[in-house]
Structure 1
């Protein structure tokens, strides 16, 4: 399955990030255009299991991109981390997913081009998104040019801020710089109430989780089998955001 893009009719593609089977089905039925597949949304998203990748490839009528992130924390990876990510990318290819979402940083925040080249080689024909490791850089123009030179199709970014709505001006400039060469996909804190400025500035794609907190209860919680900050994909939030995208 190939990854869809802006349809040329003025609409904006909506990518929804999900971390479990129910979230996947909710996103599909509520209006998502593409899925970012992960685990542990509460940790900012980690690599999904091979089983989840296989399920998504089999059941989703939408393009599915797997997040490749082996642990929480920063994006500075050692040789073992890189080997894990390369194997996970091969698993995504074998499952039949449309793409992968990758990123790697040097200690000073610059993109780790060597690691990215290794991961892109493992991905082969898969669609490549650079994730918010991009937000760690100090020179966005340099990083954008580097990503484009690697053949990366899009960059998921909050503009270097805690949330995209806090970096409207930076994101508008990145969209201008990216032009038709590389898609800038704003993400982080975007919902039906905050999306309009991004559409008006010409964002072709938007990323959101559209999730709500779901605190653990009962014995599962008592025994420590759930995170205190579990998230659940919310169909009403997806529909409201989709409506906002179509309203412009």
Structure 2
């Protein structure tokens, strides 16, 4: 397929689905419902084993906490350590982002994190979408030598940020990859791909609710309003549907699908 696609996953089951659908990469994280956090060292290790030598590249999300992207000295130190641990374990790249109090990207902190990656592939995550000027943020990422940016075009869903995605593609001019993500599904992936982005990113996730008899949402486990709630998993059928829709819009006119 001429347009790369990346699957956001949280576990080895997600890695196996990514292999099946032919994903170029996975973004490996945890707590996707919180926007994603750094996965455990064991999760990284198991994911790399599941991907093997012929599976998708494993790019590890390194985000020390939820609640924004402005980090203090201790959080940045932790991020540097997690970058080194992930790449030392064999990950192909890392996914990072941090901001200044005014909302702009924190160039100095990002430079430190890129340096910690030691030449490995670095993706700027959707912190770009909450900066005052995503196009200016892309310039910073390009100047720092990052490989790609993941963006929804400054909107909650990529399908609502098409104009900004087009502007990012124009500004990138092939010098840095632009990958569209957030809310990408089978119904809108064609429209998103038509912006000229280099790749699309999707999670294909569904929520699994506990089937334990007597489980009750009235007992809170932390500060989350949904209490016990459920957990999210990668859904193979959803993933296949997105890939099929993408293949259909990218297929040359008059060319039949493979049987």
Q: Same fold (TM over 0.5)?
A: yes
Q: Distance in 2 between matches of 1:173 and 1:221?
A: 48
Deviating above 4 A after TM superposition, structure 1's stretches of 4 or more consecutive aligned residues are 219-227
**SS at structure 2 position matched to 1:213:** strand
Asked whether the 8 Å contact 1:210–1:238 carries over to 2, the reply is yes
For the pair shown, which has the larger CA radius of gyration, 1 or 2?
2
Q: Distance in 2 between matches of 1:212 and 1:29?
A: 18
The answer for the alignment partner of 2:112 in structure 1 is: 118
Q: Distance in 2 between matches of 1:27 and 1:224?
A: 33
Q: Distance in 2 between matches of 1:181 and 1:238?
A: 29
> Number of residue pairs matched?
239
Q: Distance in 1 between matches of 2:6 and 2:127?
A: 18
Backbone CA RMSD of aligned residues: 1.7
* Structure 2 residue corresponding to 1:58, chosen from 34, 49, 54: 49
Query: Does residue 244 of the first structure (1) align with residue 245 of the second (2)?
Result: yes
Instruction: Please give the per-residue CA displacement for 1:174-217, whole angstroms capped at 9, x wherever unaligned.
Output: 11111211111110011110111122222220011010122223
Cα distance, 1:146–1:242 mapped onto 2, change above 3 Å: same
**SS at structure 1 position matched to 2:161:** helix
* Structure 2 residue corresponding to 1:205, chosen from 199, 205, 223: 199
The answer for the alignment partner of 1:166 in structure 2 is: 160
Query: Does residue 71 of the first structure (1) align with residue 62 of the second (2)?
Result: no
Instruction: Please give the per-residue CA displacement for 1:10-48, whole angstroms capped at 9, x wherever unaligned.
Output: 621110001122222222223322110001112111001
**TM-score, normalized by length of structure 1?**
0.91
Map 1:98-247 onto structure 2 (within 5 A): 98-218=92-212, 221-222=215-216, 228-247=229-248
Ranges in structure 1 where 5+ consecutive residues have no aligned partner: 1-9
* Structure 1 residue corresponding to 2:23, chosen from 10, 26, 32: 32
Asked whether the 8 Å contact 1:31–1:238 carries over to 2, the reply is no
Q: Distance in 2 between matches of 1:79 and 1:17?
A: 28
| Greater RCO (CA < 8 Å, at least 6 residues apart) | 1
Deviation of the 1:229 alpha carbon: 4.5
**SS at structure 2 position matched to 1:46:** coil
